[in-house]
Each structure stands twice: as C-alpha cells, then as structure tokens.
C-alpha cells in the first residue's frame, strides 16, 4: 500500500525591516491538484505586520480561500483547506521567529 495521507506542504519566507515588520514575504503551497503554487493573497496579508497570531491566521485564511483545492479519495477539499490554515500558521510563525534571529 502506498502512503494514503493527504499531502499539503507550505513554505513561508519572511524578511523584516528594522522595526520588526514584515518587509518582504513569499508563501508557497505544494500538494495541490495543479502542483505547487505561490499564494500572493497570503503574502499581501502579512506585509507590514509583526507576524502576530491574528495576522498570521488571517493570512492563512486568505491562502486557503484563494487556491483551488480538490477532494480525492483520501481527503476532501475542506480538510485540505484546514491543513493549509493550521500547518501554514505554524510555518509562518516559525519563519517570523527565524527572521527575528
């Protein structure tokens, strides 16, 4: 049997200005029906923020809403969107923490 887990991958790259606000950011999502994609809506939602929990949650909601996510025999689209929100929030928080040094 092959791996039957729904696969969603996220990458967030952040750089901060001297005040600790997000200056540049890229958000990418893998495991989508059309392959990996950038998520500019999520990136735009993070620009100018300090990467607090509320701004990250809002950004990941934008990511989940902006991408075409399909159901398959292992997971439905709503579950995959929830993975994008939850995994994305963890990945974004880590990216901000690392950018702060």
Tens of pLDDT along the chain (101 residues) come to 455 566 789 999 999 999 999 999 999 999 888 889 999 999 999 999 999 999 999 999 999 999 999 888 878 899 999 999 999 999 999 999 999 99
The closest of 45, 56, 47, 55 to 24, measured between CA atoms, is 47
Helix, coil or strand: residue 59: helix
Helix, coil or strand: residue 37: strand
pTM check: above 0.75: yes
Rounded to the nearest 10 degrees, how much is the dihedral formed by the CA atoms of 53, 59, 62, 67? -110
Q: By the 8 A CB rule, do 17 and 23 touch?
A: yes
Other Cβ atoms less than 10 A from the Cβ of 29: the count is 26
Structural domains for the chain: 9-96 (3.30.390.50)
The pair of structure tokens assigned to 79 is 């579950």
In the numeric block, the tokens 């059309």 are attached to: 34
């Amino acid at each position: 049997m092959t791996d039957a887990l729904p696969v969603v991958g996220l990458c967030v790259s952040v750089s901060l200005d001297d005040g600790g606000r997000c200056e540049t950011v890229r958000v990418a999502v893998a495991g989508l029906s059309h392959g990996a994609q950038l998520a500019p809506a999520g990136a735009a939602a993070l620009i100018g923020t300090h990467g607090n929990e509320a701004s990250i949650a809002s950004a990941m909601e934008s990511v989940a809403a902006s991408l075409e996510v399909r159901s398959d025999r292992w997971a439905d689209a709503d579950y995959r969107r929830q993975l994008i929100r939850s995994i994305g929030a963890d990945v974004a928080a880590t990216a901000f923490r690392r950018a702060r040094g």
